[in-house]
Amino acid sequence: MKKDIHVVGAVIIDNGRILCAKRGMEKSLPGLWEFPGGKIEQGETPQESLRREIQEEMHCEVEIGEQVEHTSYEYDFGIVHLQTYYCKLTKGTPVLTEHTEIKWLAAHELPSLDWAPADIPAIEKLAATFVN
């Protein structure tokens, strides 16, 4: 039986562009793009986890809005349950600590990147929602 892994991702929108983050080569799913975030710790709500993860990973603060998507995807290492939320920067500018690269893209440009499979349903929804 595969392990269930509950994670959150931030769809950070600033000036009409969405933050995309490239996973490090030493991580699982090396070099793939994702929405920044991480594992939900015991006793945390998804929103609390997302706030903490963005502070730790990107050294900035976000206001969390509505949920974008909830996806389950089975990888070799487990089943990832990803909840993505619209977010707005409230303090600071994202910096690279765990990712190798970040890009700000318009919604219609998102499909041009090589995304982690669990993120793809959110990408498709965003690309369809924000017609440019």
CATH of the domain at 77: 3.90.79.10
pTM of the model: 0.93
Domain that includes residue 34, residue range: 4-129
Phi, psi of 127 (to 5 degrees): -60, -35
Rounded distance between C-alpha atoms, residue 90 and residue 31, angstroms:
28
- Look at residues 20, 112, 11 and name the one whose alpha carbon lies nearest to residue 70: 11
Positive or negative CA dihedral for 83, 88, 92, 95? positive
Cβ contacts of 6 within 8 Å, gap of 6 or more: 39, 40, 81, 83
Per-residue pLDDT of the chain (132 residues; tens, 9 = 90+): 889 999 999 999 999 999 999 998 888 888 999 999 999 999 999 999 999 999 999 999 999 999 999 999 999 999 999 999 999 999 999 999 989 999 999 999 999 999 999 999 999 999 888 754
Cβ contacts of 70 within 8 Å, gap of 6 or more: 81, 82, 83, 84
Number of structural domains the chain divides into: 1
Rounded distance between C-alpha atoms, residue 100 and residue 38, angstroms:
16
Residue type, 58: M
Cβ contacts of 55 within 8 Å, gap of 6 or more: 61
